[in-house]
Amino acid sequence: MWEKDWRKDAWRELNTPWDIVVIGGGITGAGIFRRAVAEGYRTLLVEAGDFSSGTSSRSSKLIHGGFRYLRNKQYNVTRESVREREWLLREARHLVTPLGFIMPCPPDRHTAQQFAIGVVLYDLLAPKWQHYRLSREKILSICPQLDKPALSKGFLYYDAAMDDARVVLRVIQEAVAAGGTALNYAKVESLLRTADGRVCGVALHDFSHSALGSLEVKAGVVINAAGPCSDEIRAELVAAPRLRKLRGSHLVFPAARLPLPHAVTLLHPDDRRAMFAIPWEGCTLVGTTDLDHKFSLHAGEPFTTPAEVEYILRAADATFPSLHLSRADVISSFSGLRPVVNTGNPDPSKESREHVVWEENGLVSITGGKFTTFRIMAEKALQTAVQQLSRKVDFSTRKRYFERLQGLDVVKGLPDEDASYLLGRYGDETLRLLQAAREGENEHIAELPNIWSELRWAARTGAVEHLDDLLLRRVRLGMLLPDGALPEIDHIRRIVQPELGWEDQHWAAEEVRYRKIYNRFYSPAPTGY
Ligand code: FAD
């Protein structure tokens, strides 16, 4: 998609006025961008770092209603979310895929009854009917890892899984293919204002290797979708902060140590918070925590603190005692910040996940919500934003966000499972990706669903500026292979260095940067700030 010199071409276009500028290349900004372009608005998306490098590459990778929100009586969030899940399963085929959840019941009858009502309600809200009551024997026949004396009965219900960074990228790429412009490493440094103080554009700085400098971009309306940084953008308008940044962390285990046929819903032994163990991309994630983030956003990426590592390990050990999981089994960790609207609830997990859209001096801000509900969020934000434009659109009619894919049979010579995996992530580019491969590159990387040629393709067309873009977000080897995939770095280098066009010195500097990022924020015991 982004072939050589794309960035310079895009930068040259910026001087002319835009209908809409979207700040933030996470899922919220991506959704707004996609829908605005589909409606024919001249739209620019700008992202300070890499696409999806904020919260949107650090989620639990679920497209879900949020069963636990039922417990908190957040019925609206659950209803909206399960309906969006059903839409995404249909529209983003192969990228959003069904995932079963085993939910063992705690021994007390009251909670078990709540669970029984919950699975029925969850399906009725969708609406669909796909849940099952499981005896202890049935649970153990499906998932013997759950064996412990306290296990009684449980339920199996269905949500969906995804690769968050790849969903963001596909939504952005769909919008670019439809005529929009998106730039990563282009940071909004300040807002442009008219004489009467209304926001009328942004001052941008290019932080890519192309070092294209700074530029003022004029727009009919600016939408702030900067996630956890939204308050920082609003601060220029002297607007009071509205966000509560809640950190959530996960540990990643190799599937060989924690093999799961379905995800498992678990209650933490210390505080009975709902958590998940989730099979993902050939590994298993366990998380998440939910804590007020006390560090400054400028300190660096969020990371899993030693106390969180212990907390997650205790949950894993209590749920799968026969596996004796320990710190030594963890491959990696990752941590993200939920941009939740602050209502001051003493319990972070009870803070509402509803989204909020509002306007201040012409700046439209949107925050809260979930990855799952990005379409609804996009349409609500645009509904408010287009009030400032001369052409208004009715957003109640459905538009496609993901173009229809060809059938699996277009990918010849690969098992259906692999064809589905690639089509979901690369859409119509899949055949070109496979054809670009050199010998042996269409083979799997270790036990992962990924193939080596994904790296070549990402380096050639994926707007990769840094090694961490490639290894943490385009192809997620940094989280899925031991030691951040560094033992494979020479092999990776042979494939991608010529595509990236980096001199040896440049490569060496990128390797140092990547090691530092991995050790500080993604290793099994991140060193942090
Ligand atoms: P972000 O993804 O953070 O995007 C904002 C972007 O704005 C960033 O990339 C940032 O770099 C950019 N930006 C900031 N300042 C500037 C600037 N000045 N100029 C340009 N760009 C700027 N939801 C689900 O539906 N399912 C889940 O399984 C799930 N799990 C979660 C687990 C965890 C641990 C967390 C933390 C959240 C989870 N969520 C989940 C919620 C979901 O991930 C978030 O709601 C969503 O990703 C937020 O996306 P966003 O685009 O609003 O923010």
**Residue of 382, 5, 44 whose CA lies nearest to 186:** 44
* CB 462, CB 454: distance < 8 Å: no
Residue ranges for the chain with pLDDT beneath 70: none
How many A from CA of 243 to the centre of ligand 1? 13
Q: Give the pTM.
A: 0.97
How many A from CA of 26 to the centre of ligand 1? 5
Closest residue CA from atom 32 of ligand 1: 59
Q: Which of 305, 371, 469, 472 to mutate to test the pocket of ligand 1 (most atoms within 8 A of CB)?
A: 371
Q: Report the C-alpha gap between 461 and 496 in whole angstroms.
A: 11
DSSP 271-325: T--EEEEEEETTEEEEE---EE--S-GGG-S----HHHHHHHHHHHHHHSGGG--
Closest residue CA from atom 4 of ligand 1: 26
Closest residue CA from atom 52 of ligand 1: 227
How many A from CA of 62 to the centre of ligand 1? 14
Q: Which CATH entry fits the domain spanning 76-161+244-339: 3.10.20.30, 3.30.470.20, 3.50.50.60, 3.30.9.10?
A: 3.30.9.10
Q: Which helix (H) or strand (E) holds 158?
A: strand 154-161
Closest residue CA from atom 53 of ligand 1: 227
Domain coordinates of the chain in residue numbers?
A: 6-55+165-242+352-388, 76-161+244-339, 436-521
DSSP 524: S
* CB 184, CB 212: distance < 8 Å: no
- pLDDT given at position 345: 85
- pLDDT given at position 125: 93
- pLDDT given at position 41: 98
- pLDDT given at position 10: 94
The reply to whether ligand 1 has any atom less than 6 angstroms from the CB of 371 is yes
Closest atom of ligand 1 relative to the 30 alpha carbon: 51
Closest atom of ligand 1 relative to the 249 alpha carbon: 34
Could you give the 3-state DSSP secondary structure of residue 438? coil
Could you give the 3-state DSSP secondary structure of residue 367? strand
The reply to whether ligand 1 has any atom less than 6 angstroms from the CB of 336 is yes
How many A from CA of 112 to the centre of ligand 1? 34
Closest residue CA from atom 45 of ligand 1: 370
The reply to whether ligand 1 has any atom less than 6 angstroms from the CB of 291 is no
* CB 325, CB 253: distance < 8 Å: yes
Q: Report the C-alpha gap between 491 and 497 in whole angstroms.
A: 10
- pLDDT given at position 347: 84
DSSP 379: H
**Residue of 66, 104, 101 whose CA lies nearest to 82:** 66
Closest atom of ligand 1 relative to the 29 alpha carbon: 51
How many A from CA of 369 to the centre of ligand 1? 10
Q: Which of 51, 59, 298, 340 to mutate to test the pocket of ligand 1 (most atoms within 8 A of CB)?
A: 59
For the 6-55+165-242+352-388 domain, the top CATH level (class) is alpha beta
Residue 463, classified by CB atoms within 10 Å of its CB into exposed (0-12), middle (13-18) or buried (19+), is: buried
- pLDDT given at position 358: 96
